[in-house]
Structure 1
Amino acid sequence: MMKVERQMTPSCAMRKLCPNLDREDGLDTVLEVPIPEEMFAPAARSGGRNWVTGCSSMMAWMRSHVDHRSASLVLGRSAELQLMLGVVGAPLVPLPVPPNHSFVGRALTDDPIEASMAKYIVQQYVAAAGGEKALNGIGSMYAMGKVRMSATELRQGGGGGGNGNSDGKKTAKGGGSSGEMGAFVLWQKQPDLWCLELVVSGCKISAGNDGKIAWRQTPWQQSHASRGPPRPLRRSLQGLDPRTTAHLFAGAVCIGEKSIHGDDCFLLRLDAESATLRSRSSSNVEIIRHTLWGYFSQRTALLVHLEDSHLLRIKAPNQECVYWETTMASSVDDYRPVDGVQIAHAGRTSVSLFRFGDTAEGHTRTRMEETWTLEEVDFNIWGLSMDCFLPPGDIKEEKECAASTDGALAPAKLAVGRLPLSIGNFRIGGSRIAAVNTEEYSDDGDDEEVKDGKQRLLRSI
């Protein structure tokens, strides 16, 4: 059994406890997702020594969610968080892991030269990441880190096109230049199980894969399963899971060399197959393409950059088709050995979300950015069972509803009601569930068609 060792950065500043909200003399509450020190503004200004003052804002925020009216006001400012968390929080990669879970598979000479080169590059990557024996020795993993997200939207003017040079309206989101702070906890168990919890500025998104379905849950939307076969979490490929990265790119093709951030790299490409795209599409939302590129350094053989492009077409009755293109680019930095396996401890993801296809006045481009640092990582976690990856209980009902509506998003009015709500790092019990009216935090700056398109986009990612 591999030695279990907790890796912590010297600058680790994460709060794992919060004062009891019901009794001042009660035991502290253990947070499911630790909170970055920066989120406790009063404590940060006082050097972090005043615990009660540092938690006062968190306690006030928590209590406000118990009342429906206060909850609506708090969530009212999170229309941009809904978009950022939906797009950047827990996206999936284009393809599922191959069923044989092999790094290379058949002999290199059996494939075309582009595929053979890709398999050779993956072999070098496996060796640089720690070796096949070390990667296969990882049965489970835990990772915890900090994130900071921000967004800017540019709305094109008449005759603008999509290059951003025409007159338009630019709106900063996500807390301005400072962005929205948050944290994530990721659990994985080989071969295909994973569960992510991400909290950003008080809004929590949960996602997971039990080996049969991949699902997602947010405060503003009922739990729902992703269409098509379950796929790995994109965040895992950002230097956190070398084994899954090698399995996926073993089926890629090498399309050449390219320099990225001054580092000469081999460029590998993965395209989602037509059958996979069809299984993820519905009668009114068509996934046209989903492509993933991996940049493997010629110097270290490690993955240093990850890009993917996702294009879908939304068909509306009696209207022209609208297209949404999502482009994500992630730099992967600060590799450190953890029990002999190279794990990235920092990175940055830039996202461009472009809507086009009807009139030039309706063209919008939203740019989002996330920076993250890994604070802790462990391998081979004792007691991590299948129960840790079970989907929410309402997934079955949601799947039946999706089948009856052919994947179309139900109107916002149907979502009004008593939804299961995870507030921050606490799970509110059934007796304290706050009813969330989705119409009260819609994007006021968008027309109904743009709102509907964003909702369909979030469900398709």
Structure 2
Amino acid sequence: MRKLCANLDREDGLDTVLEVPIPEEMFSSGSNSRSHKSLYANVKAWMRSHVDRPAPSSLGREAELQLMLGVIGAPLVPLPVQAQKSIISHHIKEDPIEASMAKYIIQQYIAASGGEQALKSVDSTYVMGKVRMIASEVVTGNGSNTSHTNTKVTKGGRGGEMGGFVLWQKKPDLWCLELVVAGCKISAGSDGKVAWRQTPRHQSHASRGPPRPLRRALQGFDPRSTASLFSNAVCLGEKAVNGLDCFVLRLDAQAAALRARSSGGVEIIRHTVWGYFSQRTGLLVQLEDSHLIRIKSASERNVYWETTMESSVEDYRPIDGIYIAHAGRTTASLFRFGGDSNDGRTRTRMEEAWAGEEVDFNIWDLSMDCFLPPGDLEDAKEGCDAMVKGARPPIGAQAPLRIGHSKVAALGIDEDSGSTDE
């Protein structure tokens, strides 16, 4: 990962320290190539103020990047995770068999991750890594006539878009993420009162309901939050995942939590997460979640968005006695149906491969100032309503993914997730 950028204004000036490191693979094309110059131009654009940023040079590519960042960039998990003195606070025999089995599996996961005392000793976490994203497939069809189906495979074919990310976390309710992919940046965070996110093309907005942990952190970077989340799950049985026998735990967001995240025009019908824990090692090997949103359209027919994400978690290494995953892959599927008959159905698939380059705990002098939301952040209600009612994103109808106003609004409202908020 490259942490310095040449001074673009003065050749004899000192190098600029990048807030988000850039993978070395992005510099492999040579210093005189057009792509290299374009990369440095994008780096310079990141450092400018929002109003000074130039318009995107490629409308279709911009639409694709915005969609990938919106869906798999910074999704949240279904429920808040509370810091507790003991992750399993009461005797498992008091629960139904499915719940008590899940608590027993989580106890094994805690032990495999390094033990409860080691996890409790972590006050803050820093992770720096790289990602590669690709929008792999878009399938559209007329919902009333399945014989007329159009399948389009996008040109993510150059191997996808490279980027880097930096994650800071202090306990489960304080976190901040900056993710840069091919010149597009998304920032997200939580100050313990509200979870928010911001992109260069959209105004900052907050997620409805109480702040929730970042899904990316639960993909192997934060074992304590993972254990706390699934301590309230139920065990569905066993399943083989990538040749490994795993226990399957399931957690559903309750109706009250879903109502808190819904608004007048948008209803979150369900949000479910599954965890697959290896019977051999006790560690998390796969994380899945799915949520369904209903949006009231201008016509009387509702539009539905279903977002499904599946993440493999691997390459566990001990950091200060705690086993942290250093690699993984996520596949996301967006399925839109309902609405006007001429809209038909749309399914979009996206993929992300990530690798953790640096991980450290208990960062010295990591204060609350590191988690302050943007100055232009509206309150949760205004932020969500603005995404539903107002702003048409700067994506034209000719973009390859054909992302319309209702589609992007549907993805942005909850900011949730998986849908990204999704």
Task: Please indicate, yes or no, whether the TM-score normalized by the shorter chain is above 0.5.
Answer: yes
1:319 matched to 2:297? The reply is no
In structure 2, do the counterparts of structure 1 residues 261 and 446 end up closer, same or farther at CA, with 3 Å as the change threshold? closer
Q: Give the one of 223, 229, 233 matched to 1:248.
A: 229
Trace 1:2-17 onto structure 2 (pairs within 5 A): 14-17=1-4
Instruction: Give the C-alpha shift of residue 297 in structure 1.
Output: 0.4
Q: Give the one of 276, 281, 287 matched to 2:257.
A: 276
1:29 matched to 2:13? The reply is no
- Residues 279-305 of structure 1, C-alpha deviations (whole Å, 9 max, x = no match): 100111100000000000000000000
Mapped to 2, the partners of 1:251 and 1:259 lie a distance apart of 23
The answer on whether the counterparts of 2:80 and 2:213 sit within 8 Å (CA) in structure 1 is yes
Mapped to 2, the partners of 1:38 and 1:157 lie a distance apart of 41
Amino acid at match of 1:72: A
The answer on whether the counterparts of 2:328 and 2:355 sit within 8 Å (CA) in structure 1 is yes
TM-score relative to the length of structure 1: 0.83
The answer on whether the counterparts of 2:143 and 2:345 sit within 8 Å (CA) in structure 1 is no
In structure 2, do the counterparts of structure 1 residues 442 and 201 end up closer, same or farther at CA, with 3 Å as the change threshold? farther
1:219 paired residue number: 200
1:125 paired residue number: 109
The answer on whether the counterparts of 1:188 and 1:195 sit within 8 Å (CA) in structure 2 is yes
In structure 2, do the counterparts of structure 1 residues 288 and 15 end up closer, same or farther at CA, with 3 Å as the change threshold? same
Q: Give the one of 103, 118, 124 matched to 1:134.
A: 118
53-62 or 97-106, which deviates more: 53-62
Amino acid at match of 2:391: P
1:452 paired residue number: 406
Q: Give the one of 321, 327, 331 matched to 2:312.
A: 331
Trace 1:30-109 onto structure 2 (pairs within 5 A): 30-43=17-30, 56-62=37-43, 71-74=54-57, 76=59, 77-98=61-82, 100=84, 102-109=86-93
Amino acid at match of 1:18: C
2:394 paired residue number: 439
SS of the equivalent of 1:254 reads strand
2:418 paired residue number: none
Instruction: Give the C-alpha shift of residue 171 in structure 1.
Output: 3.5
In structure 2, do the counterparts of structure 1 residues 390 and 442 end up closer, same or farther at CA, with 3 Å as the change threshold? farther
In structure 2, do the counterparts of structure 1 residues 321 and 445 end up closer, same or farther at CA, with 3 Å as the change threshold? farther
In structure 2, do the counterparts of structure 1 residues 308 and 360 end up closer, same or farther at CA, with 3 Å as the change threshold? farther
Instruction: Give the C-alpha shift of residue 142 in structure 1.
Output: 0.5
93-102 or 14-23, which deviates more: 93-102
- Residues 180-217 of structure 1, C-alpha deviations (whole Å, 9 max, x = no match): 11111101112421100000000000000111110000
The answer on whether the counterparts of 1:310 and 1:325 sit within 8 Å (CA) in structure 2 is yes
Instruction: Give the C-alpha shift of residue 249 in structure 1.
Output: 0.6
Mapped to 2, the partners of 1:64 and 1:385 lie a distance apart of 28
2:371 paired residue number: 389
SS of the equivalent of 2:334 reads strand
Mapped to 2, the partners of 1:278 and 1:456 lie a distance apart of 16
The answer on whether the counterparts of 2:208 and 2:381 sit within 8 Å (CA) in structure 1 is no
In structure 2, do the counterparts of structure 1 residues 319 and 445 end up closer, same or farther at CA, with 3 Å as the change threshold? farther
Instruction: Give the C-alpha shift of residue 178 in structure 1.
Output: 0.7
1:410 paired residue number: 390
In structure 2, do the counterparts of structure 1 residues 333 and 191 end up closer, same or farther at CA, with 3 Å as the change threshold? closer
Mapped to 2, the partners of 1:240 and 1:385 lie a distance apart of 20
SS of the equivalent of 1:83 reads helix
SS of the equivalent of 1:352 reads strand
Mapped to 2, the partners of 1:353 and 1:445 lie a distance apart of 16
Percent identity, aligned pairs only?
Answer: 61
SS of the equivalent of 2:394 reads helix
Instruction: Give the C-alpha shift of residue 91 in structure 1.
Output: 0.2
Mapped to 2, the partners of 1:119 and 1:224 lie a distance apart of 36
The answer on whether the counterparts of 2:165 and 2:177 sit within 8 Å (CA) in structure 1 is yes
The answer on whether the counterparts of 1:139 and 1:379 sit within 8 Å (CA) in structure 2 is yes
Mapped to 2, the partners of 1:143 and 1:53 lie a distance apart of 31
1:352 paired residue number: 333
SS of the equivalent of 2:179 reads strand
Amino acid at match of 1:374: G
Mapped to 1, the partners of 2:338 and 2:381 lie a distance apart of 32
Amino acid at match of 2:56: L
Q: Give the one of 363, 376, 396 matched to 2:345.
A: 363
Amino acid at match of 1:34: P
1:170 matched to 2:157? The reply is no
Amino acid at match of 1:349: T
1:20 paired residue number: 7
SS of the equivalent of 1:248 reads helix
Trace 1:194-213 onto structure 2 (pairs within 5 A): 194-213=175-194
60-69 or 17-26, which deviates more: 60-69
Mapped to 2, the partners of 1:294 and 1:402 lie a distance apart of 31
Mapped to 1, the partners of 2:406 and 2:301 lie a distance apart of 14
In structure 2, do the counterparts of structure 1 residues 411 and 217 end up closer, same or farther at CA, with 3 Å as the change threshold? closer
Amino acid at match of 1:335: Y
1:422 paired residue number: none
Amino acid at match of 1:410: G
Instruction: Give the C-alpha shift of residue 110 in structure 1.
Output: 1.0
Mapped to 1, the partners of 2:141 and 2:33 lie a distance apart of 47
Unaligned ranges ≥5, structure 2: 415-420
Instruction: Give the C-alpha shift of residue 123 in structure 1.
Output: 0.3
Mapped to 1, the partners of 2:75 and 2:102 lie a distance apart of 24
Mapped to 1, the partners of 2:162 and 2:236 lie a distance apart of 37
The answer on whether the counterparts of 1:142 and 1:188 sit within 8 Å (CA) in structure 2 is yes
Mapped to 2, the partners of 1:19 and 1:286 lie a distance apart of 48
Unaligned ranges ≥5, structure 1: 1-13, 44-49, 413-437
1:183 paired residue number: 164
Mapped to 2, the partners of 1:306 and 1:191 lie a distance apart of 18
In structure 2, do the counterparts of structure 1 residues 104 and 70 end up closer, same or farther at CA, with 3 Å as the change threshold? closer
Mapped to 1, the partners of 2:164 and 2:93 lie a distance apart of 45
Mapped to 1, the partners of 2:34 and 2:16 lie a distance apart of 16
- Residues 373-400 of structure 1, C-alpha deviations (whole Å, 9 max, x = no match): 11111111111111001100111x3546
- Residues 103-131 of structure 1, C-alpha deviations (whole Å, 9 max, x = no match): 11211111111110000000000000000
In structure 2, do the counterparts of structure 1 residues 273 and 64 end up closer, same or farther at CA, with 3 Å as the change threshold? closer
The answer on whether the counterparts of 1:160 and 1:360 sit within 8 Å (CA) in structure 2 is no
